[in-house]
Amino acid sequence: MEFADFYPLSLIIFLPAVGALLIAVIPGLDSGGVKRIAAFFTFCSFALSLAMFCLFDRSSSAYQFVESVSWIPQININYHIGVDGLSMPLVILTTLLGFLSVFVSWRIELRPKEYFAWLLILESSILGVFCSLDLLLFFLFWEVEVIPMYFLISIWGGGRRAYSAIKYVIYTMFGGAMMLAGILTLYATTGTFDMTVLAGTDFADLVAVIPLAAIFWLLITAFLIKLPVFPLHTWLPDAHTDAPTAVSVMLAGSLLKMGGYGMIRICVTVFPDVARDYAHLLVILAVIGILYGAAVTIKQTDLKRLIAYSSVSHMGYVLLGVFALSDLSITGACLQMFSHGMVTGLLFAMVGLVYDKTHTRSIPELGGLARQMPIIVAVFSVAGLASLGLPGTSGFAAEFIVFLGSFTSTAVAGIKIYTLLGALAIVVTAGYILWMLERVFYREPKPKYDGVPDANKLEMAYIFTFVAVIMLVGIYPRILTDVIDSWLPTMPLP
Amino acid sequence: MAEIPEYAVWLIFLLPVFSFAFISFVIRPFFNKKAELAGYLTIACIATSLLFALWTLYSVLQTHEHQLDFHAHEWLVVGSHQISLGIMVDSLTAIMLLVVSFCSLMIQIYSQGYMHGDPGYCRYYAAMSLFTASMLGLVMAGNLIQLYVFWELVGLCSYLLIGFWFHRPSAAAAAKKAFLVTRLGDFGLLAGLLYLYFKTGTVDIGELHTMAIAGGIAASTLTLAAIGIFAGAVGKSAQFPLHVWLPDAMEGPTPVSALIHSSTMVTAGVFLVARTFPIFVGSETALTVVACIGGFTAIFAASMALVATDIKRVLAYCTVSQLGYMMLGLGAAGLVLAEEGHATLELAKVATAVGIFHLFTHAFSKALLFLGSGSVNHATGTFDMRLMGGLRKHMPWTYLTFLVGSICIAGVWPLACFWSKDEILVKAFELSDARVILFYLGLITAFMTAFYMFRAVFMTFHGEYRGGASAAGHGHGSHGHGDVHLHESPPVMIAPMLLLFCLAIGAGLVNVTGWFDRFFGGHHVVGWDHLVRIFTASENNNVALISSIVALAAIGLAYAIYKAKRISAESMGRTFRPLYTVFYRKYWMDELYERIFVVRVLLNGLFRVFQAFDTYIVDGLVNGVAGGTVMAGRLIRNAETGRLQTYALVMFAGILIIIGLVYWLT
């Protein structure tokens, strides 16, 4: 029996969901048991995806570990999944974050059964999005993800959690509706939901039910909201700030990447010509997002909100890389998605730790913590430095490749100026990160925080895992770029 | 001895990396009680690096081209793009490796005494190891991306070390300032790098050299790229207008300042210009910018050093000024070369020797001076020269070394800096048309340098002791060495100072016969009699004589004011009150940058507007749409009263309206 004969991809996707089911149905389970089950199933999913990552054929641009079962044959909908160089890094990112977020949630004692069940379902739905090769299946997973998010934010969140949760839902549903319309018109035009077929479609021979550009914009609206892109970003700071820590980790780390992934997988791959037509506009939006996001970030006084806003700026690099439309820039965008997932995931985890110990997230109230929590400050600093793109961390490798790829791209007029404008954000980013570190950790220690504990063993274990991955990718980015690179030949680039 | 193998060159950089990693991940977590291990390990690693650096120098000397060739290793391949990892070892690298590892070693040994008992001892040595490693990695980088990586890491380490005593708000702010100001310059470097890559398709330094000299790159490209690269150098080497971070950087422990100011960090900018010099040679505009910024910074920083009362601040401005000299030397030598026309790669490399020679001699004397100021602080608990005085009697060794360091920086024959400064002035004198004004700027700076250095010497070591930190009430600038009593520093601090002392005296001799130039590829040979003949030799236009007289005159003036008290410093200050205020307030540039630009324009201006826009317009619109929907729902709900009478009434009204409409329309 080969590895592929065990339906490994289905296992990776559904193992967390099976864990959720078990948690829900096993009677009399205490909170420790719930956490152990959650840890076990997310670990299995992660281990399998790691094995898949190792076995992944880096010389092939085709989908691998493909499974295809006819599901609704009348309209040709299939349970069709597989991974390639684009989705593989995101799958392993999601399983890793899913596993780590169980430990990030270790202190949850409020209704733990429901909490962990929803958390695991969330992971399954995200994985489903990254692995689906059928548009309707893709849409299904995309929409399922809203349900656990709604409950996780509105029950276990803080602040204006009801408002934030509903805002998140409405935004996502709005995007989802547009996407469904896009998918259906695309089906009406081409007669297929199969993404592998759609990728090579020559629209010249087809009669589109509505203009192709309209289908493109219907689809990309959902992705632009998810990424998020200015001016569709305001759901993000609210949702992040009010979500429980582990959900912020998943949201920033993995969920946002659905936007970037969808853009590349569907919008750029299926409509390369339309993408080229609108690349200029989207690149401008990216640069606005990068600079504007950074400028707004610097003004935040809530630690978590600050990190949340930094995502708006950092995901701008993804959009820039994608619509600079060169092989190097798209590789950079993919790497940035992974890197941002780890780095911002870690930043949210660290904010969670600081909040756990000090019971505040208000930056002016904090201060001088470096003496009281040396390990937390060390790891927080590493995460911050990775966020500002310091060499040796994944942030640098990703941003640098995006800059190099965008600057040398020939697909968009004026891309050099846009890239340089975007690169200017490295100064502002350094500004908000270092200023935040200074206000929270440096200066005189405050007596009221004397005796607050530093990270415990379990916390150290998961934060050091983050750090190790961030540095591994930073020092040897080929570990991912070789995988990403294997898929690039299929990209219809100018 | 055989030629050094590639792995041994890598080890020069990897050994301090190892000591950093070992201290951070093994000693600090598990053996924190034996913190002294961290110091020993760092010293051992850097000493070994120094040995390998010497071997590298020897190997480079053995080769005809003064260059070792190693092939690059593949690091990142994406599509058609390839970024490699390689080392470039030529005369420039060999000299830099030597200077960095030697100065760092001396400073690490000194720190054994200076940092003794500090709770952050391990962290200190870990950061110092990484700092040294980054700088060593920077100087041997084979391509610009690799160089940029280490460039940023050097910036990180300076951040960690300047902010070493992070509980002090001033240290935390200074660390942040250093990182941000240099990063502003880094943006220029990044832009230049991207542009070069776009135009040439390579970032390999060797290939770029050849292409730039052979005319393979358009002149406009060279100018833009060179200006971008120079922006990076301006940030790191603290040149005007990005010099503001360096004086504040003295918030770090004094040995850190010694390392930053002598060989690591600030010299990176000068090194970068020298490393990419063939690109500059192709653009007269860029060279003029380099020379002018350098010449201006030299005199600009010297003016602020004249009135500084903090001994480290005097030294800091002195560094900025001397770095300006180096830039002036590079720019002037390049311009002279460009005017002669037909520049070759070899000539371009020789031209860098002028600036790098000053870097070389300055490194030893500046490290010496900073270590001296640390030693003084160790005894008095303060850096304020107004509270010192008379230390000559109590600290004879510190006095001797500091004095010699000052004489050296002042440019007095035959000490190290005299030789290098003279070469720069000669080059500046050779400039044509209006640019020769740079020579006069340099000469005035030489006067100012000698003056403020001896002002510092007299204020610190002569006269009566004015009480040190205890006189200031509490330890201003001290880091808590407890009760202050005047004493000479321990041998572990004095010994490295003495070694540096020897180099501050003798390092200049390597170019008396033109050896240093020849090492960079020159052919000029002169005899040892040049040692004296420099004052009579006609080819250098008596620059040596003039600059010596200038330096001695300045020392004499300082003596008259601060030692003999023939002229009162206070009355001088009153006479030149406006000028004094301008210098003392640092031309208000900190206020301009921090209070006006950062706080008023950005934080409370632009960024605040963005924040308000985000909250009230973008999000306001979103909530407005949602609110509008709810409002509309509420309004319409009012119609649904559930009372049949109302419905009947509305229905009746509707029918009436329809009938009316139909009647009216027909």
| Tens digit of pLDDT at every position of chain A (494 positions) | 678 788 999 999 999 999 999 999 998 888 999 999 999 999 999 999 999 999 999 988 889 999 999 998 888 899 999 999 999 999 999 999 999 999 999 988 889 999 999 999 999 999 999 999 999 999 999 999 999 999 999 999 888 899 999 999 999 999 999 999 999 999 999 988 999 999 888 888 888 888 999 999 999 999 999 999 988 998 999 999 999 999 999 999 999 999 999 999 999 999 999 999 999 999 999 999 999 999 999 989 999 999 999 999 999 999 999 999 998 999 999 999 999 999 999 999 999 999 999 989 999 999 888 888 989 999 999 999 999 999 999 999 999 999 999 999 988 888 999 999 999 999 999 999 999 999 999 988 888 888 888 888 999 999 999 999 999 999 999 999 999 988 888 887 76
Beta strand extents in B73-179 (DSSP E only): 73-78, 81-85, 89-90
Decide if A328 and B81 are in contact by the 8 Å CB cutoff: yes
Rounded to a whole number of angstroms, the distance from the CA of A430 to the nearest CA of chain B is: 7
Name which of B102, B569, B86 is nearest B367 in CA terms: B102
Residues of B with CB below 8 A from A411's CB?
none
Decide if B614 and A403 are in contact by the 8 Å CB cutoff: no
SS3 labels along B44-58: HHHHHHHHHHHHHHH
SS3 of residue A71 by DSSP? strand
- Tell me, what's the pLDDT at B481? 44
Decide if A299 and B176 are in contact by the 8 Å CB cutoff: no
Residue with tokens 């990209």: A491
Rounded to a whole number of angstroms, the distance from the CA of A89 to the nearest CA of chain B is: 16
Decide if B156 and A390 are in contact by the 8 Å CB cutoff: yes
Judge whether residue B482 has pLDDT over 60.
Answer: no
Residues of B with CB below 8 A from A442's CB?
163, 166-167, 169, 171-172
Residues of A with CB below 8 A from B614's CB?
234, 292, 296
- Tell me, what's the pLDDT at B473? 53
Rounded to a whole number of angstroms, the distance from the CA of B99 to the nearest CA of chain A is: 25
Chain B's closest residue to A330, CA to CA, is B78
Among the partner-chain residues B79, B194, B610, the one whose CB lies closest to the CB of A488 is B79
Give the number of other Cβ atoms within 10 Å of residue A59's Cβ.
7
Chain B interface, mutation test: which of A163, A170, A234, A317, most B Cβ atoms within 10 Å? A234
What's the rounded Cα separation, in Å, for the pair A44 and A12?
8
Chain A's closest residue to B199, CA to CA, is A408
What's the rounded Cα separation, in Å, for the pair B244 and A231?
37
Taking all residues of chain B, what is their mean pLDDT, rounded to a whole number?
87
Helix H segments across A67-190? 88-104, 112-131, 135-144, 146-156, 161-190
End-to-end CA distance of chain B: 116
Residues of A with CB below 8 A from B607's CB?
295-296, 298-299
Decide if B166 and A370 are in contact by the 8 Å CB cutoff: yes
What's the rounded Cα separation, in Å, for the pair B497 and B402?
9
Beta-strand pair B81-85/B73-78 = antiparallel
Residues of B with CB below 8 A from A445's CB?
167
Contact A66, A80 (CB under 8 A): yes
For chains A and B, CB pairs below 8 A equal 132
Name which of A312, A288, A310, A317 is nearest A407 in CA terms: A317
Rounded to a whole number of angstroms, the distance from the CA of B152 to the nearest CA of chain A is: 7
What's the rounded Cα separation, in Å, for the pair A40 and A46?
10
Cis peptide before B414 (omega within 30 of 0): yes
Chain B's closest residue to A483, CA to CA, is B78
Looking at residues B539-548, what average pLDDT do you find?
78
Name which of B469, B455, B146 is nearest B307 in CA terms: B455
pLDDT digits (tens, 9 = 90+) for B275-327: 999 999 988 899 999 999 999 999 999 999 888 888 899 999 999 999 999 99
Rounded to a whole number of angstroms, the distance from the CA of A319 to the nearest CA of chain B is: 19
Decide if A485 and B168 are in contact by the 8 Å CB cutoff: no
Rounded to a whole number of angstroms, the distance from the CA of A31 to the nearest CA of chain B is: 33
Judge whether residue B474 has pLDDT over 60.
Answer: no
Residues of B with CB below 8 A from A233's CB?
618
Decide if B611 and A435 are in contact by the 8 Å CB cutoff: no
Rounded to a whole number of angstroms, the distance from the CA of A248 to the nearest CA of chain B is: 20
Name which of A194, A183, A188, A198 is nearest A71 in CA terms: A194
Rounded to a whole number of angstroms, the distance from the CA of A402 to the nearest CA of chain B is: 11
Decide if A441 and B166 are in contact by the 8 Å CB cutoff: yes
SS3 of residue B90 by DSSP? strand
Rounded to a whole number of angstroms, the distance from the CA of B192 to the nearest CA of chain A is: 10
Q: Which residues pair with A134 in a beta bridge?
A: A194
CA distances in angstroms from B313 to A162, A305, B622, listed in the order given? 56, 39, 53
Alpha-carbon Rg for chain B, nearest whole angstrom, is 31
Instruction: Count CA atoms closer than 13 A to B382's CA, side-chain side.
Output: 26
What's the rounded Cα separation, in Å, for the pair A468 and A461?
11
Residues of B with CB below 8 A from A430's CB?
179-180, 183
What's the rounded Cα separation, in Å, for the pair B556 and B567?
12
Contact B488, B397 (CB under 8 A): yes
Decide if B190 and A426 are in contact by the 8 Å CB cutoff: yes
Chain A interface, mutation test: which of B25, B166, B629, most A Cβ atoms within 10 Å? B166
CA distances in angstroms from A162 to A154, A165, B366, B420, listed in the order given? 5, 5, 62, 71
Residues of A with CB below 8 A from B179's CB?
430, 434
Residues of B with CB below 8 A from A441's CB?
166
Q: Which residues pair with B74 in a beta bridge?
A: B84
Among the partner-chain residues B172, B179, B603, the one whose CB lies closest to the CB of A442 is B172
Residue with tokens 């610009």: B144
Chain A's closest residue to B619, CA to CA, is A234
Rounded to a whole number of angstroms, the distance from the CA of B221 to the nearest CA of chain A is: 14
Decide if A434 and B179 are in contact by the 8 Å CB cutoff: yes
What's the rounded Cα separation, in Å, for the pair A132 and A452?
46
Contact A434, B176 (CB under 8 A): yes
- Tell me, what's the pLDDT at A256? 94
- Tell me, what's the pLDDT at B295? 92
- Tell me, what's the pLDDT at B384? 86
Decide if A442 and B166 are in contact by the 8 Å CB cutoff: yes
ipTM > 0.85 (yes/no) = yes
Residues of B with CB below 8 A from A225's CB?
none
Pick from A196-200, A312-316, B75-79, B614-618 the range whose average pLDDT is largest.
A312-316
pLDDT digits (tens, 9 = 90+) for B330-365: 999 999 888 887 788 888 888 899 899 999 999 999
Among the partner-chain residues B153, B171, B184, the one whose CB lies closest to the CB of A427 is B184
Q: What percent of chain B has pLDDT over 70?
A: 97
- Tell me, what's the pLDDT at B145? 92
Counting beta carbons within 10 angstroms of the beta carbon of residue A184, is it exposed (0 to 12), middle (13 to 18) or buried (19 or more)? middle
SS3 of residue A82 by DSSP? strand
Decide if A441 and B148 are in contact by the 8 Å CB cutoff: no
